Amino acid sequence: MPAAPAKLRWPAEWEPHEATWLAWPHNAADWPEKFDPIPWAFAEVVRHLAEVERVRILVDERSHLAAMGTLRRLGLETQGTTIDLVPCPTNRIWTRDYAPFFVHRGPTSEAVKWRFNAWAKYDDWQLDDEAGRVIAAATDCPLVEPNSGGAPIVLEGGSIDGNGAGTLLTTQECLLSPLEARHPGLSRTDLEAIFAAHLGVRKVLWLNRGIVGDDTHGHIDDLARFVDPTTVVMAIEEDLADANYEATQENWDRLQGATTAEGRSLRLVKLPLPRPVVFDGQRLPASYANFYIANRLVLVPTFCDPNDRVALNILADLMPDRTVVGVPCRDLVWGLGTIHCMTMQQPAWG
């Protein structure tokens, strides 16, 4: 009788981390006319993370000295501490979308690296795609690059969220849109089989559309997130006149009565959205759901909005074993992402 396949499991974000991976900001074109404050906002995230876990930052020749100088001015040394600067050129800082997923396969681990193509929107993505392989090599994890019929599968980390026990959240807008060059020809059933084969997922919960201003075509990490195996916080707009009202209410309705892969009922918790954040005539994807769960810590984007305090209190109540910290992100979100988009966890094994 052949041996049973090794059990595959994608750990949840709240499980212990070995490190968090980031990439130092250097592409000023991502924040037109507003790049100067971005390295400082980035460094604040690093400062908080370095207190609770190792931080590994991708830097190229241009950004290496800038990173060292900025961090030192904040009292953060990069030698002999919990901060490592890893030589690697990148196009952008959004490691959530191009870093590999680290999964358990029985007693071993592997790095699952999907193809990254800059959300099928930009021409410059090749460095970021290769950076995923650099990260995998640095962790000594075997590299797995999923494909279908010999073609690499395009997927961004921000498009899916998992509970560590076989249940995955995503949106139809992102994964099933026929207009985007991510994975043409793959059906919902095909994608669910791919998630099962490479992440150990046994159930996929499909929401519909993402929030206004999200240029990734509906990433889940601006919309709905697991905070424990059965609790999902969902970004909800209560103002009928707001452009996010219809989509967020529909997503809320879709998860009513939903269960996990193990048949457990979901607990749904509403998370408000800030009032519209607009810069240069463009509404930006400002969402408290773009938080990051680190060791003993949750970093939450804030927007100088009355709902900042409401969101922080909700998340603090849901994760009482962690310190919940708000990080000002009105500048950072001009780059169309915030804290979860710029971080990727490397689980601690064993």
Catalytic residue set: 341
Tokens of 4: 């049973």
- For 155-224, the DSSP string reads --GGG-EE-SSSEEEEEHHHHS-TTSSSSTT--HHHHHHHHHHHH---EEEEE----TT-TTSS-GGGTE
> Rounded to an integer, what distance in angstroms lies between the CA atom of residue 5 and that of residue 303?
47
State in Å, rounded, how far the first CA of the chain is from the last one. 29
Distances (CA, A) of 210 to 220, 222, 324, 342: 7, 7, 25, 18
Task: Using alpha carbons, select from 273, 278, 288 the residue that is nearest to residue 225.
Answer: 288
- Dihedral of the alpha carbons of 226, 227, 231, 232, in degrees to the nearest 10: -40
> Rounded to an integer, what distance in angstroms lies between the CA atom of residue 323 and that of residue 317?
10
> Rounded to an integer, what distance in angstroms lies between the CA atom of residue 145 and that of residue 201?
17
The partner residues of 147 in beta bridges, in order of sequence, read 152
